[in-house]
Structure formats: structure tokens, C-alpha cells
Chain A
Amino acid sequence: MENTNNSKKLDKRTLLKSFHRWFWGALTCFSQEHMQTFGYMASMLPILKKLYPNHKDQVKAIKAYTAFFNTNPMLGTVIVGITASMEQARANGKEIDGETINDMRAGLMGPIAGIGDSLIDGTLIPILLGISLGMSTGGSPLGAIFYIVAWVLIAYFGQRFLYFRGYHFGDQAVSFLVGKQGAAIRRAIGIVGSMVVGGVLASWVNVTTSLKLYGANGKVFLNLQNKLDSIYPGLLTVIVTLFCWWLMTKKHVSAIWTMLLLVVISLIGVLVGFFNPGLSY
């Protein structure tokens, strides 16, 4: 879909305008029913106006984008770039119709959402936040500022890169994400994600017990926390986490009910002396 009969070509200004509309507005008019559909239409509008001077053609062209759309908004930018190039090809008389465009969008939004959620929400953001939290320990604003700068730069230029990659390479831009290579990448990212999440849990969460058993002479003969630490440091933290995972995944308990169950467990634990946060004024 490149350099044949380039009678109509999108200039960089139009493409940037379309990209910015996606960057700022992918989800502004969100509803459960149509999700990102309106964000998509709004970002295609500059493209359509540029390619089709005739108002009737614009109205006809936008019909393709009224279909349901939802994906990971960061990685999904590449799809908007791809449709920009497809739309340009269509305007130049190539045999592309709205259905072709929609098949591409529908085919990509699932895999892109899956990879984007695990790559960005599940791996990149926890790493960035983990570093930033370390910098903000003790109430310093440094970590928060670092996160703002690092993430906004990565998000803006990363998405911009993806948009233009989609525009220049068409669906070739994401061919490596589907098929065998895509599966291998997902497995590899999954490893990084799982290990980072494990590291986050160990670094920042610490569930401990205050249970101590006293002998007849008033001396502690069992300090459960010390015992557990000598078996596997952080054992209770792992157990509570895996318990929550088990409830939500295997028993299909919602996150809210899981939290409420933790309240009950904490209450019982406090009453029997298993938990004691050691409060004082």
C-alpha cells in the first residue's frame, strides 16, 4: 500500500493532528457500549477531510469507523496509523473498502490489547512505579516527578513512533506480533512481567504475624514470624497473594468481595492475636 500512484498523500501535519487527537481523546467519550469508537472517529476526521475534498465522500468514508473498537490505547496507536495508510490507499483508488479496514481493525484489536496490557500495564508501569516509589520513600517528591517525566516522554514519543510506524509499514508494522514470533514475544514479556511483579510484591508488601507463644516461665518459646522467615522470607505475603489469586481466578470471587474477605480475616486475626499492627499514639 505504498508509493503506487501517489496522487493523494497525507502530509505530516495532518498525520500529527490525527495522532494528537488519538493521544488526547482515545477514551474521552467512553461508554461500555461503544468504548473507543468515538475517539477513533475523532482521530480519523482530519485524515478523511484531507483525503476527500468532497463532503459526501467524507460521510461515506467515516461509516467504516462507526464499528465497535476497543484496545490498549497505548499500543493501539499503531492501528490508527495503519488505517491512515489504508485510507490513503483507498482514496487513491486501490481496492480497499470499509470492510477491509474493519477486518484489519477487528483482527488486531484483540492481540494488541493482550500484548499492550501485559507489556505496558503489567511490566513497564510496575517497573517505572517501583523505581519511583523507591525515590519517594520518606515523603520526597522526587519519585513522583521522575515518574511524570519518564512516563509522559515514553508514552508520547512511543505512541508517536507507533503511529508513524503503522502509517509507513501498514499491517507489516505488526506482523511480528501475530503468529509464531508474536507468541514467542508474549511468552518472553510474560517472564519479565511475572518476575517484576514478584519483585514488586517482595519489595513493597510485608504481611507479618505477631503470634508469640509464651512458656511457663514467661519466656517466648515460639516466635512464629521468625520461624516463618527462616523457612522462606516473605512466606505469609506470598500465601495471602496466592490466596487472593486463587479466590479471584478459580472461585471467580470479585476483587471487592476478596477485599471484604480480607477484612473478615483481619478481624479474626486481630481478635486471636495473630495480627497486631502495633498501634500507638
Chain B
Amino acid sequence: MTISWIQAAMLGLFACLCSNSCMAGQAVGNYTIGRPLVGGLICGLILGDLQLGIACGVAMQLVYIALVTPGGTVSADVRAISYIGIPLAMVAIASQGLNPLGGSAANLAKSVGTLVGTVGTVLYYAVATMNLVWQSFGWKDVHNGKLNKLTAVNFGWPWISHAIFSFLPTMFLTYYGATAVTALRNALPMDGVAMKTLFTVGGMLPCVGIAILLRQIIGRTTDFIPFLVGFTLAASLGLNLVSVTVVSLLFAVIMYEVEMSKGGKQGNSTVPEGPNDDDEEDI
């Protein structure tokens, strides 16, 4: 499998749309186009191997299933994961002749994608830094009362940051990286220590992603209990994720009632709903 300039350029365009601080809006860009699962679909379509693309996307998504960016700090960059990492992983798997649906292919994808994604955080900070230039234009416009120019500051100028730090790196890295990854095949035999290590790491990397999320949601030691209960339900009892969620809702309702009844009287007793689960339209 090779990547042509046109394919590399298309990948570059999607990289502009999806990165954190993306041009396609947070919900559609970062949270949809940027997710490795969707990236796998798009890369599969661009490179002409849908099944392999999806398989790589699924593998990569596991590492970043719970990508949180508290306070704008990132530990990985979705444009690099999804539009540099996945294409290169696809080329690597194809050149190694691995079964795209096998566990080895998935672990290889995780290693390649995570490596690229981690290195890609540089791109995130580069874009955010270059945006300071456009923001300085914006402050001048606000100062001089040229409010109409704010639209260009927010929606227009950042395209230049992305052209330099999303489009070009993605295009060059996928185009030249594909050759390098193919060359790797001869340098590193599959049964050697290097490859074995790479694949073993791939299998463990999702643990880091989950641990990052745990850092967000675990406040005290007892918070590990629901986490372990959820794990046990799936690992020992074999429940799928929707079933685990349903069971967890019961505990959530109990916890809510307990917290609300603390300290006695409380006027409002309605059971809450997650505000964002509510997709009904007002007005």
C-alpha cells in the first residue's frame, strides 16, 4: 500500500477540520471527525481499504476512548492519531502482510498511532501559539471598534495556523512516512524483540487512556469500587456496555437520593436528568 500526494493532501484537509481547536467546530470536528473510529472510516475511504481502515480505527479508539482535555492540556493530538497515525498503521499492517482483523494488527496500529499521536501534541501547541497572532489582530479590532472583523479573526485567520501546522505536516508525514514504514518491514523482523515489545506495548496502551480518565473521576479511594464493579460486571459476568450502564443507573439514583436526603429537608426532589442527554428542542 502506498499513499499518493492527492491522498496525503486529503488527509491533511481532514487534519485541519478535526484537531483540538479545530476548524469544523468542537462537536463535529474534534468529537466526530477527530475520533479514531471515524478517522478509520475516513482513512479507509481515502486509501481505498475500508475494512483495514475501520480495524485500525477501532484499535486506536480503544486507546483514546476517554480522551479528556482538562483545562486545555492535551496528552495526545487527535489530528495526529487519526490522520497521520491511522494511515501509517494501515500501510505498516499491509506491508507486514498481517490479517487486518487479527489481534497483532490491532496492537501494531495502537503502537504506531499512539507514538504519532503523542509526538503530535507539538502540533496542538504550535497552532494555539500561532493563533495568538490572529488574536492580537482581534484585540486591535476591538480597540478600534471594528467589530465586524472579529468574524474573520475567529473563523478565517486560524486556517493559516492549520495550513502550516495541520495540513503540511500531515501531508508530508503520511507521504514520506508510508515509505519509511514499508522499509521498516525489512529492518525489524516480526519475531524479534523490538516487534514483540511494540506489540506488547500496543496491548497495554489503552490502560493509560483509561487511567487518564480515572484521574478525572476518582476523588477518593472508595470511588474505585464502582469502577471495579463495572469491570467485574463485564469481565466476570460478561455483560455488555449498555447493560453495565443500565445497572449503573440504579446505583446513580440511589446515590442521588442518599446525597439529597443528607441534612434533612430539601424542597426540590425531582430526579435529575443529564442536561445534555436531552435532545428535545425548546421553542
Q: Point out residues on A near B: beta carbons under 8 Å.
A: 12, 21, 23-35, 37-39, 41-42, 45, 48-49, 55-56, 58-59, 62-63, 66, 70, 73-75, 78, 113, 116-127, 129-134, 136-141, 143-145, 147-148, 151-162, 164-165, 168, 176, 180-181, 183-185, 187-207, 232-234, 237-238, 240-245, 247-249, 254-256, 258-259, 262-263, 265-267, 269-271, 275-281
Contact = CB atoms under 8 A, between A and B. Distances in A.
B99 to A, nearest CB: 10
A130 B260 CA distance: 31
Contacts of B157: 29
B212 A191 contact: no
Contact of A189 (B50, B70, B252): B252
A31 B135 contact: yes
A91 B254 CA distance: 45
B191 A280 contact: yes
A16 B55 CA distance: 39
Contact of B66 (A27, A32, A121, A141): A121
B52 A277 contact: no
Contacts of B57: 136, 144
Nearest to B21: A30
A48 B71 CA distance: 28
Contacts, number: 440
Contacts of A48: 147
B125 interface: yes
B138 interface: yes
A183 B260 CA distance: 9
A236 B263 CA distance: 42
A27 B41 contact: no
19 contacts: A24-B24, A27-B21, A38-B154, A74-B26, A74-B276, A121-B216, A136-B37, A144-B41, A152-B27, A154-B276, A158-B277, A187-B255, A188-B259, A194-B248, A197-B213, A204-B206, A245-B214, A256-B118, A277-B203
A188 to B, nearest CB: 4
Given A139-B50, A147-B37, A262-B201, A192 B248 contact: yes
10 nearest A-B residue pairs (beta carbon): A198-B230, A30-B21, A195-B230, A139-B51, A184-B259, A202-B234, A199-B244, A244-B211, A198-B231, A195-B248
Contact of B23 (A26, A28, A133, A159): A28
A272 to B, nearest CB: 11
Interface size class of B (residues with CB under 8 A): 35 or more
Main secondary structure of the interface of B (DSSP, over half): helix
A270 B193 contact: yes
A179 to B, nearest CB: 10
Contacts of A242: 211, 224
B5 interface: no
Contacts of B218: 194, 245, 249
